[in-house]
Amino acid sequence: MGSGYIICEYEKIKETFPYFAQVMAALKAGLIAKAQLDWPSMGFTPPGLNPKSGEFGLSTIMPQLFNDMSGNRLVTWHQDLTALGHQTIMTGAGGAATIAEDYKVGICGLAFLDKVQRITEIKMQISDKKLPRINIEEAMAYNKPTVIFEDYYILDEETSFDLYGYVEATGPQRIKLVGLEANRVPNKLQISAPGAALT
């Protein structure tokens, strides 16, 4: 997969990056194919929002699958940045910073949903794969700057995930992963109370 990206405003993704729909379609197809390969006993009926018994579902990425920089499970994409400099700002919420069992997450971007930007550089690591650093300082003038990758990445279940950032100022920051997730235990999403752990 390539490591190219574009920085644009969240509300203008489609306008600024016309291939976004193609990246999302490829991500969805890749995530479904990976889930069908790894979960062969599970079926899938598009659009996958209300899976039946024996099927896996698709949804937007749930923040409860991740921990913030303090190691607390996210309930929303909002967190408080409490330390300056190079920091781990998001990890998988499973043991050893992994994605919980029964979930697969497809990422095609990161959105910073605040007008005040406190992070100037980011870097991701998926298992032992380190992705290049991305300087987002130029995006501080944007309204809700968003980094959209030219390709997607899949965070497999029980695979570690770390998002690092260079924090220039402490305070609140909403960092949203752009993409989709697959889950093979519908009850974890359907019965869980809002904000509860999904594992």
Question: pLDDT tens across 31-85, in order?
Answer: 999 999 999 999 988 878 778 888 999 999 999 999 999 999 999 999 999 999 9
Could you tell me the pLDDT band of residue 16, with boundaries at 50, 70 and 90? confident
Q: Which of 102, 27, 100 has its CA nearest to residue 60?
A: 27
Q: Give the span between the Cα atoms of 159 and 163, in whole angstroms.
A: 13
- Reported as a single tens digit per residue, the pLDDT across 116-164 is 889 999 999 999 999 999 999 887 788 889 999 989 999 999 999 999 9
102: CB partners within 8 A, 6+ apart = 157, 183, 184, 185, 188
- CA pair distance 142, 7, nearest whole angstrom: 9
What are 161's strand-pairing partners? Answer: 126
Contacting residues for 16 by C-beta, under 8 A, at least 6 apart: 6, 8, 9
Q: pLDDT: is 199 or 166 the higher one?
A: 166
| Inter-residue contact 91 to 126 (CB < 8 Å) | no
Instruction: Characterise 18 by phi-psi region: left (phi > 0), alpha (psi -120 to 50), beta (else).
Output: alpha
Report the amino acid identity of residue 78: H
E strands, the chain, where?
Answer: 5-9, 57-59, 66-67, 78-81, 85-92, 103-112, 119-126, 129-130, 134-135, 145-155, 161-167, 171-183
